[in-house]
């Protein structure tokens, strides 16, 4: 059946827009979940024996105002030194400088055994593909990293949680002759 006149075109437009929005939400939902992080030393790390783990938990909302809970713990670092955790592309629209910059999420100072960690309730995490521990402040040199890329140090694994967007099936295949 072919849509005729302006009501049919409006209906077709609404259906198309709905499908586009659903596919957009499904595409960005990969990090809107419980994300377990395992940190590993980066090349030429000042802490080659350093270790770390983290949890970044999505708590609902729409970008740029999503709500999160983050927890990190580290060991094998220099004693009594400041460190910062940063996320690559945390802010910014695709194609903007902010989308390719690291932004700080929390900081801490290690104890006398070289252990420490931090937690925070940030608002807005647009991307979650690389998280680094840096010496000093957010502009310091990288020490440890967690990444979704298999060839990069560390790992980020996501599991849906109760706040994760409901998975929506893609559009049904269209029969052609």
Domains contained in the chain, number = 1
- Rounded distance between C-alpha atoms, residue 154 and residue 145, angstroms: 6
Residue 1 lies in a domain: no
Q: What is the pLDDT of residue 7?
A: 62
Q: What is the pLDDT of residue 106?
A: 97
Residue 78 lies in a domain: yes
Residue 119 lies in a domain: yes
Global pTM reads 0.76
Which domain range does residue 44 map to? 32-159
Closest CA to 135 of 99, 83, 81: 83
CA torsion sign, 85 to 87 to 90 to 92? Answer: positive
Residue 6 lies in a domain: no
Q: What is the CATH number of the domain that holds 148?
A: 2.60.40
Residue 117 lies in a domain: yes
CA torsion sign, 157 to 159 to 163 to 164? Answer: positive
As averages over each run of 10 residues, the pLDDT of the chain (177 residues) reads: 58 48 40 90 95 94 87 98 96 88 96 97 91 97 96 93 67 48
Residue 102 lies in a domain: yes
Q: Would you state the torsion angle of the CA atoms of residues 85, 153, 55, 73, taken in this order, to the nearest 10 degrees?
A: -60
Residue 167 lies in a domain: no
SS in 3 state form for the chain? CCCCHHHHHHHHHHHHHHHHHHHHHHHHHHHCCEEEEEEEECCCCCCCCCEEEEEEEECCCCCCCCEEEEEEEEECCCCCCEEEEEEECCCCCCCCHHHHCEEEEEEEECCCCCCEEEEECCECCCCCCEEEEEECCCCCCEEEEEECCCCCCCEEEEECCCCCCCCCCCCCCCCCC
Q: Partners of 19 in the beta sheet?
A: none
Residue 106 lies in a domain: yes
Q: What is the pLDDT of residue 24?
A: 39
Count other C-beta atoms under 10 Å from residue 145's C-beta.
Answer: 26
């Amino acid at each position: 059946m072919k849509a005729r006149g302006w009501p049919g075109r409006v209906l077709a437009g609404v259906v198309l827009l709905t499908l586009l929005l659903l596919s957009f939400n499904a595409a960005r939902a990969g990090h809107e979940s419980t994300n377990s992080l395992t940190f590993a030393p980066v090349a030429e790390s000042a802490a080659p024996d350093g270790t770390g783990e983290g949890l970044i938990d999505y708590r609902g909302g729409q970008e740029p105002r999503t709500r999160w809970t983050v927890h990190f713990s580290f060991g094998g670092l220099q004693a009594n030194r400041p460190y910062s955790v940063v996320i690559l592309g945390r802010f910014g629209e695709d194609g903007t400088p902010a989308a390719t910059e690291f932004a700080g999420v929390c900081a801490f100072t290690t104890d006398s055994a070289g252990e420490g960690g931090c937690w925070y309730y940030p608002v807005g995490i647009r991307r979650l593909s690389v998280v680094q521990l840096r010496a000093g402040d957010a502009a310091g040199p990288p020490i440890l990293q967690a990444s979704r890329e298999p060839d990069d140090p560390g790992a980020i694994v996501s599991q849906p949680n109760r706040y994760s967007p409901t998975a929506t099936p893609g559009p049904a295949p269209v029969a052609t002759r």
